[in-house]
Structure 1
Amino acid sequence: MTTSLPTETFDYPIAPWSLQGTALISFHVVDIAAMQHFLPAMLEILPIFPGKTLGGIYLSSYGEGSVLSYNELIVFCGLVRYGDRISTWVTHIYVDHPQSVAGGRNIWGLPKQLASFRWGQGDHPQVTVFQAGGQLCHFSYRWRLPGIPTPIPAFAGAFSWLQSQVMWFSVQGSVKTHWLMEAAIEVPDTSPFASLNFTHPIMAFGLEDLTLCVQQPTPL
Structure 2
Amino acid sequence: MLVAPPPWTLTGNGVILIAHFPEAFVRSQGFLAPYQHRGYRGWIGTVMLVDYQTSPVGPYQELLFIPGLFQLGKRTSFSISKIYVSSQESIWNGRRNWGIPKEQATFSFSLNPDGSQTIRVDNQGETIIQLRAKPWGIRFPITTKLVPGFRIVQKQLITDESSPRSVGQLLLTRPSARGSARLAFLSDMHVKTSLFPDLNRIRPLVTLVVENFQMTFPPPETL
Matched, 1:14 2:2: no
Whether 2:59 is the aligned partner of 1:69: answer yes
Note the alpha carbon deviations across 1:155-183, whole angstroms, 9 max, x for none: 43111110332211011231112111345
Of residues 81-90 and 14-23 in structure 1, the stretch that sits farther from structure 2 once superposed is: 81-90
SS in 1 for 2:192: coil
User: Is residue 57 from structure 1 mapped to residue 32 from structure 2 by the alignment?
Assistant: no
Q: What SS does the corresponding residue of 2:139 show, helix, strand or coil?
A: coil
Change (3 A) 1:198 1:215: farther
What RMSD in Å do the two structures reach over aligned CA positions?
Answer: 2.4
In the aligned structure 2, how far is the partner of 1:33 from the partner of 1:182? 24
Instruction: Return 154-163 or 28-37, whichever deviates more.
Output: 28-37
Match of 1:169 in 2: 173
The structure-2 alpha-carbon separation of the partners of 1:138 and 1:206, relative to structure 1 and needing over 3 Å to count, comes to same
When normalised by structure 1's length, the TM-score is 0.81
Instruction: Please name the residue that 2:97 is paired with.
Output: 107
The question of 1:206 aligning with 2:197 is answered: no
Q: CA deviation at 1:137?
A: 0.9
> In 1, Cα distance between the equivalents of 2:23 and 2:199?
9
Is 2:4 aligned against 1:32? no
Q: Deviations 1:113-149 (Å, cap 9, x if unpaired)?
A: 110001111223120100001011123223322112x
Q: What TM-score does the superposition give when structure 2 sets the normalisation length? A: 0.80
Q: Could you list the runs of 5+ residues in structure 2 that have no partner in the other structure?
A: 157-166
Distance change in 2, residues 1:42/1:207 (3 Å):
same
Correspondence for 1:157: 151
Count how many residue pairs are aligned between Structure 1 and Structure 2: 202
Q: Letter of the aligned partner of 1:46 in structure 2?
A: R
Aligned amino acid, residue 45 of structure 1: Y
2:68 is paired with a residue whose SS is strand
Task: State the partner residue of 1:188.
Answer: 192
Residue number among 44, 68, 72 corresponding to 2:39 in the alignment: 44
Q: Distance in 2 between matches of 1:183 and 1:108?
A: 33
Structure 1 unaligned regions, length at least 5? 1-9, 49-53
Question: Retained in 2: the 8 A contact 1:141–1:183?
Answer: yes
